[in-house]
Amino acid sequence: MLSHKDNEYMSRIGAETAMGTYVRRFWTPLMLSSDLAEPGGTPQEARLFGENLVAFRDSDGRVGVLQALCPHRQAPLVYARNEECGLRCIYHGWKFDVDGTCLDMPNEAPESVFKDRVRADAYPTAEAAGVIWVYLGPRDCLKQPEVPDMEWMRVPDSYRNVHRFHLEGNWVQAMEGDVDSSHIGFLHKNLRDLRDPAKAERENRYQALDKAPKWVIQPTDYGMMIAARRNAEEDAYYWRINQVMLPFYTSVAAPIDGSAGLLHMWVPMDDSHTYVWTVMWRTQRPMTERERSDMTEGPTPHVATYDPVTGGLRGNHQNRFFQDRLEMRSETFSGIFGIREQDAAMTVGMGPIVDRSKEHLGAADSAVIALRRILIKAARDLESGEEPYAPYHGDAYRRRAWSAVLPRNDDFLNDPVANKMHDSLVP
């Protein structure tokens, strides 16, 4: 159970809040580079940490992120002309470059120096791995943060598939699903595996047979490592080792053969809306077209109801995420199609910010409890004047989530074979 005060402290990310100040210390993924593919192309709206923004690629190819409304009369800059290295507001012609400098103020007298005293709020940007990153934090820090250097960002473009949609609900409650390993034995399972686990594929069999994993949780300078242990064969355990990387990255246990990776980014749009990024990649070869299409298509899509017009999901709490009660009786535990939709039905249905003071948490919730403690401690440490480690060490994010079947050993963390869990670094 979390007190109402701590719940508010952890969940709110407005500019004047402790958690809002903390998350702004990090470079943050904003949109795909392909969303601004053309120099001088159409500006795009975005919302991040409660701030409305406009992003554009100027005629020289530089990416700018500015306040959404023109400093003159607060007209929306998303309608602006993108021309000659700047956005020109179509209301009165004021023009701003990627740094927020006012280049032109044509409705003032030519001799006026007024434009030299007006700036648009502008934020530093970077591009890496096909993603546009933005920094909304203070500029007067002793050190500027580094863009995180994660495994999926180091593989060739053809090895990865990156997808983003927005979701109702607070970012932490959405993120908590990825550190809750016990729910995969229920929410995401088909009834065939649950009814006859012996015939299920290897990893599904372990999850279906042992629905109450034991936890090993290790805080780290980048967040925490969490390991869920399940019974496998008589002399072995099945381990799923996830990485939580601050402030909002979750790297989910890879297949036992290590051939693929999965990562989510739970980026707060505001207190009650979240950008959900899903990254899938292959570690040793390019992804096939079928593997790419499996993100949104096929019999078990990761995101089943993505709406490219709205950028959200067609499934929502109002239409119950298209839950099929007949299929629920015969095919799947949830009756909901799509992995992201299954998780969203649970977290969105909690309300914009869930009241955690009403929860009753058990041993299965150990990793969720640990996540909350780490986030709250990180924000409080910053309030006390202690700068966080992770944003200034991009290489700290070179961590891999993985899974394995290992010999049973009660002293797992000191076992020389199993201890490779500590060394799950990406080279």
Q: Determine the pLDDT at residue 234.
A: 85
pLDDT, tens digit (0-9, with 9 covering 90-100), for 254-288: 888 889 999 999 999 999 999 999 999 999 999 99
The count of other CB atoms within 10 Å of the CB of residue 358 is: 9
Q: How many residues comprise the chain?
A: 427
Question: What pLDDT does 412 receive?
Answer: 54
Strands 125-128 and 81-82: unpaired
Mean pLDDT of 299-324: 95
- Distance of alpha carbon 128 from alpha carbon 148, whole angstroms: 10
| pTM, entire model | 0.92
Render 88-149 in DSSP notation, one character per residue.
E-TTT--EE-TT-BEEE-TTS-TT--GGGG-B--EE-EEEETTEEEE--S-S-SSS------
Which pLDDT tens digit goes with each residue over 159-173?
Answer: 999 999 999 999 999
Please report which confidence band the pLDDT of residue 233 belongs to, taking 50, 70 and 90 as the band edges: confident
Kindly report which listed range (131-135, 181-185, 194-198, 321-325) carries the lowest average pLDDT score: 194-198
pLDDT for the residue numbered 389: 96
Residue scoring higher pLDDT (88 or 404)? 88
Cα separation of 310 and 261, whole Å? 28
Quote the pLDDT of residue 426. Answer: 58
Residue 244 host element (H or E): strand 236-245
Position 424 scores a pLDDT of 54
Mean pLDDT value across residues 341-356? 95
Q: How confident is the model at residue 140 (pLDDT cuts 50, 70, 90)?
A: confident
Tell me: pLDDT of 62 over 60.
yes
pLDDT for residue 385 is more than 80: yes
pLDDT tens-digit profile of 337-348? 999 999 999 999
Asked whether residue 4 carries a pLDDT value surpassing 90, the answer given is yes
**Stronger pLDDT, 68 or 234, i.e. the higher one:** 68
Report the pLDDT averaged over residues 303-323: 95
pLDDT at 423: 46
CB 378 within 8 A of CB 21: no
Task: Give pLDDT, residue 320.
Answer: 96
> What are the tens digits of pLDDT across the range 123-136?
999 999 999 999 99
pLDDT at 182: 82
Picking from 93-97, 238-242, 372-376, which range would have the lowest pLDDT averaged per residue? 238-242
pLDDT at 309 over 60: yes
Whether 425 shows a pLDDT value over 60: the answer reads: no
pLDDT at 72 over 90: yes
Q: Residue 259 in contact with residue 280, Cβ under 8 Å? A: no
Q: Domains of the chain by range and CATH?
A: 28-134 (2.102.10.10), 151-423 (3.90.380.10)
Nearest to 408 by CA among 240, 257, 234: 234
Cα separation, 243 vs 249, in Å, equals 8
